[in-house]
Structures are given as C-alpha cells and as structure tokens.
Amino acid sequence: MAERRSSGWYGGDDRNSYIHRAWMRRGLPADAFDGERPHIAMANTASDLTPCNAHLNEVSRSVADGIHAAGGIALNLPVVSLGETLVKPTAMLWRNMAAMAIEEMLRANPIDGVVLLGGCDKTIPALLMAAASVDIPAVVVPGGPMLTGTFRGVPLGCGTGVWQLSEEVRAGTLSAAEFRRSESSMIRSRGHCNTMGTASTMGLLAEALGMTLPGIAGTPAPDSRLLEAAHATGVLAVDLVDEDRRPSQVLTRASFLNAIVTLAAIGGSTNAVVHLLAIAGRLGIELTQDDFDRVGSGVPLLVDLQPAGRFLMDDLYRAGGLHAVLNEVRDLLDPAAITVTGRPLVDYLDDARVYDREVIRARAEPLQPEAGIAVLYGNLAPGGAVIKPAAASPELLSHRGPAVVFDSIEDLHARLDDPDLEVTADSVLILRGCGPKGYPGMPEVSNTPLPKKLLEAGVRDMVRICDGRMSGTAYGTVVLHVTPEAAAGGPLAKVRTGDIIVLDVAKRRLDVDLPDDELAARQPSAEAVAAYAAPTRGWEKLYVDTVGPASTGADCDFLIGSSGSQVSRESH
C-alpha cells in the first residue's frame, strides 16, 4: 500500500507530527494515526440558509457510519454553502468562490479522500470543481429531491409552480392570498427542487459522470433508501482511497460526453452547460459548447418532467430512475467511461426497468425525437448562445420580429408593464447587461416575464434573448448565455428597439437584420455600458476582473486547471 496522504501530517516522531496527532486525539482511536486507516472528509454543504441541503447532516451521519464500518476515519468538513433562493445577488456569483474555498480546504487538510455532499443548484458543481482541481479520491452523495406537494388538488412543481402561479396573479386569475397559501404545498419536504431544474439535473449528471455510487441519484431526500445509499457510499469511499481512484480517472472526455447524452435524454437544465464546461476546465479536458449541440441535440427527450413536461422527480424515481432512462440510450453511451467503483457506467444498466411509460418514454416513442441544447451563432452571438428547444414553443423556434430592448433588470422592471410600451406578441424581448461581468454572477433572469397587457390578452410565450442564465425550473422560448455579453462589448449592446431579430433554431442562427457595416459602425448603447459592474473590493472585484464567458464555463481564469493535492509549503 502506498503511503497515505494523511501520513504526511501524522506519521513520524517529530514535534509537528506530535502537534497534528495530539489535537486530533479527541475522540479518535489510537490506531487512527498508524497510517492504515484512511482519513476521509465529508465536505458537507448543509446549512440552515440552504434549506435544500439542511438534511445533509443526517445523510452525513450515514456516510460516517459507512466509513467507520469499512475501517476509515470519518471527518466532518462543513464547507461554503450556497442557497439558490436566498443568496444575493445570485448564488452563481459565489460558485467559483465556493469551489476555491473547498479546493483549498481539501488540499490544506490531512485527508486521503472526500465524500462530497451537495444538492442545491451550485453546490454539486462547486464540490466537483474543487475535487477535480485537487484530484484526491472523491465521491458525490446527491441530497435528493423533495417530495411532490399538491395545491388545488394537482401536483405543484417546485420553482416551476412559482413562475406559473405568479403569472396567474399578474393576469388576475389567482388572488394574492391563494398565492401565499401555496407556499407550503410547493415545499412539502426536505430536499432540493423536484422539477428537472439545475439541482435535479446536476445530481443526475454527477452519476452519469461516474462520480456517485451507481443508482443513488434521484433518490428522494426523505427516502430511507438515501440513507442506505449514503452508508454504502461511506464504505465505497474507503475502497476508493485504497484503490487510489481519483477524479481524473473517472472524469474523462468520455464521461462528459455521457453526461451530455444524459442531459438531453432527461431534458435537463441549461445551467448544466456552464457547470460541465467549468468542471472539465479544472481537468484540462477539451470540452466545448459545441459538443452539447453535436452530441446532445440528436438525443431523444425521454423524461416527461416539469418544467417542460408533467411529472416530478419522485415520479422519475418510481418509474425506474436514471438507470432506466440511460438504458434506453445505452448505445449512445461510451462503454469505456468508468465510475468511482472502477466499473463502467453501462455495466449498471442491465437490471434497469421502466415501471411507468408515461414518465420515462421508450426510445421509439420519445417526447421529442431530438432534444438537448442547441447552440446558435450569428451576428448577435459570435461566441454562441444556447436555447433549450424542449422548453420552447415549437412555433417560435423560427421567428422574425422587432426588438424591444431593456438595458438592465431594473430597466425591465420599470417599463415592462407600462401600458404604453410598444410591444406585441411578435416582438422579441431583449434583456442585456446580465452576463457574468455585467450583472456579476450572471443571474437567472433570461426568462423575463411577459408584458402584463400581453398576458391579459392570453399570450403565454414570446421570443426572449439575454446574456444571462435561466433557472432550470423555467420554460419558454428563451435564448440565453449570449456571448460575448453586452458588458464585454458584445453586439447585443448595439441592438436598438425596433431592429428586426431573426431566430432560426433549425439553422442554428441568431441575427439582427442589419448590414455588417452598419452593425460594425454602431456604438454600444451607453446605458448597456453603464450596466457594467465595477466593484472595487472583495470577491466581487476579483470575480469581475477574472471571470470568463459562459461559453467556456464562467470560471475565473486563475482557477482553471488542476494544481493537485500537494500542499504549497510546510508551515512549522
């Protein structure tokens, strides 16, 4: 057996080893320091301010039991947690900071491996980015979705229901009191959002990447089978260290391509594009936005979940879960991609069964024959933009209409419901200044609300274009992640209200109908430029100064890549 990493702290008879051991003796057995038993951290994003992850302390106790049962030493490591609904201005502003802090704590401490406990949208991406950069044996425990709640006798999708009900309030068909009464119906139990939002997507993709105990992803948070799987993950973590199987062996280009196939088949969140690109960037794996279109857009949509469909995550679990979905597209998966167990992902699909064909469609009868993410280019998005056709209105996927431009979120809120706003159902709503730099963190605002007067007239979808992101629980014909963003000088900053916008998803085009020379000669809107944030201190400044475009994962330039598990220098 190779010398354990933790022995670099505890092995030896010198003063430093004494200090390291002595302070850790509290509660640990004497043989904890003899170099036989692996020390495994449980990087835990539980927090009362991240309600989706609040139950992870209970889950981590089962992980710890598993680690101990297998002979390891389990160590609690609370890490930066990001609650999607509470953290302002947007949790995405802090994803890279969380990943950096977790990375440094994994590297700085005497641990041989790590179990990563996450759930809410940014937590699993941040944990995986950190583990990829440090590259010590690591395995994810996804916290799992909440149970389905009902309101007015029908299931209410977490997140998606908020959009639907708030539009009903704006349209005058739901009272404010009823709206408020729906709150506890929507959040019925512990766990993360139960639609196919970003949290559900990233939990399932963690497994598709090979980074979880096979079969765990999608287990509802209150389900006792999650605790069973957490215990088994603790046992697995000890094996993982003994085998010295690291993220760089599991997270290969093949596993990322499997994740892209999975993303399409489940109809997952567009945010996964940014997160997978960022994780791949930590490992130096060549993965581009175009891979999502090339590999994913021919994959059928098989899962009928909200926001685009009908069901919720516990329906998916009941219907057979992720393995049942993957078994339908097995021929599209790379059999060489291994999981943390050392066996290929496809090996685990033999026993997969579909128990409800309404929730998980057969390959021959998909919800849509071609799903995935479409990447658009054109004079409005030279660096690319993405759209999720499965969440869009089919009749709007080819559209030509006049732009109605908003320079910022504040501008949108001030003018959207103005009865005098010149807008029709054919208009294209453009919201700019919301990219990684423009509104630091790239908030989920791209699915702008529709103007009230159009809502009242029965309009429920319009083409919307934005350089920000969209919540995975949202839906509509929304072009997002427009690159370069307006605040970085992208052509989106030059569009004027009344310009004709041409969207053609089949041809993968997004253009403003202007001659090249006229577009080149135009200056960016002064208001759009003014929307550029110029923070003067702290993380926000570091972020804005160093963040890259969405098209490459919106990571900070100084965090891309891997620096490994070696501590930078000894202190004593």
Which listed residue (40, 199, 230, 493) binds ligand FES by CB under 6 A?
199
124 binds ligand FES (CB under 6 A): no
Query: Measuring CA to CA, which residue among 119, 115, 81, 61 is closest to residue 313?
Result: 119
Task: Pick between residue 122 and residue 245 the one whose CB is nearest to ligand FES.
Answer: 122
185 binds ligand FES (CB under 6 A): no
Task: Pick between residue 83 and residue 549 the one whose CB is nearest to ligand FES.
Answer: 83
For the CB of residue 120, give the shortest distance to ligand FES in the complex, in Å: 3
For the CB of residue 193, give the shortest distance to ligand FES in the complex, in Å: 3
Query: Measuring CA to CA, which residue among 264, 270, 54 is closest to residue 146?
Result: 54
Q: Tokens 């059999």 sit at which residue?
A: 335
Q: Whole-angstrom Cα distance, residue 109 to residue 128? A: 18
84 binds ligand FES (CB under 6 A): yes
Evaluated on CA atoms 412, 418, 421, 423, the torsion sign reads positive
Sole window of 9-17, 192-200, 343-351, 519-527 interacting with ligand FES (rule: CB under 6 A): 192-200
**Burial class of residue 340, CB neighbours in 10 A (0-12, 13-18, 19+):** buried
By CB under 6 A, the residues from 140 to 159 that bind ligand FES are 159
Task: Pick between residue 88 and residue 537 the one whose CB is nearest to ligand FES.
Answer: 88
For the CB of residue 510, give the shortest distance to ligand FES in the complex, in Å: 29
Q: Would you list the DSSP string of 390-431?
A: GGS-GGGSEEEEEEEEESSHHHHHHHTT-TT----TT-EEEE
Task: Pick between residue 59 and residue 463 the one whose CB is nearest to ligand FES.
Answer: 59
Task: Pick between residue 143 and residue 247 the one whose CB is nearest to ligand FES.
Answer: 143
Which listed residue (97, 193, 236, 487) binds ligand FES by CB under 6 A?
193
Reduced to 3 states, what is the DSSP secondary structure of residue 551?
helix
Sole window of 33-41, 191-199, 242-250, 490-498 interacting with ligand FES (rule: CB under 6 A): 191-199
Task: Pick between residue 199 and residue 462 the one whose CB is nearest to ligand FES.
Answer: 199
- Running DSSP on this structure, what letter comes out for residue 298? T
For the CB of residue 158, give the shortest distance to ligand FES in the complex, in Å: 6
85 binds ligand FES (CB under 6 A): yes
Q: Whole-angstrom Cα distance, residue 90 to residue 174? A: 28
52 binds ligand FES (CB under 6 A): yes
For the CB of residue 118, give the shortest distance to ligand FES in the complex, in Å: 10
Task: Pick between residue 197 and residue 267 the one whose CB is nearest to ligand FES.
Answer: 197
Q: Would you list the DSSP string of 449-508?
A: PPPHHHHHTT----EEEESSB--TT--SSEEE--SS-GGGT-GGGG--TTPEEEEETTTT
372 binds ligand FES (CB under 6 A): no
How many residues bind ligand FES, per CB under 6 A?
Answer: 10
192 binds ligand FES (CB under 6 A): yes
By CB under 6 A, the residues from 508 to 567 that bind ligand FES are none
For 137, the token pair is: 């044996």
120 binds ligand FES (CB under 6 A): yes
Q: Would you list the DSSP string of 218-252?
A: T--TT-HHHHHHHHHHHHHHHHHHHHT--HHHHS-
Task: Pick between residue 41 and residue 91 the one whose CB is nearest to ligand FES.
Answer: 91
Task: Pick between residue 272 and residue 375 the one whose CB is nearest to ligand FES.
Answer: 272
Q: Whole-angstrom Cα distance, residue 380 to residue 486? A: 10
Sole window of 189-197, 440-448, 522-530, 535-543 interacting with ligand FES (rule: CB under 6 A): 189-197
Reduced to 3 states, what is the DSSP secondary structure of residue 50?
strand
248 binds ligand FES (CB under 6 A): no
Query: Measuring CA to CA, which residue among 303, 348, 296, 299 is closest to residue 327?
Result: 348
By CB under 6 A, the residues from 206 to 225 that bind ligand FES are none
Contact 466, 479 (CB under 8 A): yes
229 binds ligand FES (CB under 6 A): no
Query: Measuring CA to CA, which residue among 319, 321, 337, 324 is closest to residue 260?
Result: 337
Torsion of CA 384, 388, 389, 393, to 10 degrees: -110
189 binds ligand FES (CB under 6 A): no
Give one word for 11, left, alpha or beta, with left for phi > 0 and alpha for psi -120 to 50. Answer: beta
For 122, the token pair is: 């940014």
288 binds ligand FES (CB under 6 A): no
Reduced to 3 states, what is the DSSP secondary structure of residue 367?
coil
Task: Pick between residue 263 and residue 503 the one whose CB is nearest to ligand FES.
Answer: 263
197 binds ligand FES (CB under 6 A): yes
For the CB of residue 87, give the shortest distance to ligand FES in the complex, in Å: 10
For the CB of residue 17, give the shortest distance to ligand FES in the complex, in Å: 42
For 440, the token pair is: 């630091």
Task: Pick between residue 193 and residue 371 the one whose CB is nearest to ligand FES.
Answer: 193
Contact residues for ligand FES, defined by CB under 6 A: 52, 84-85, 120-121, 159, 192-193, 197, 199
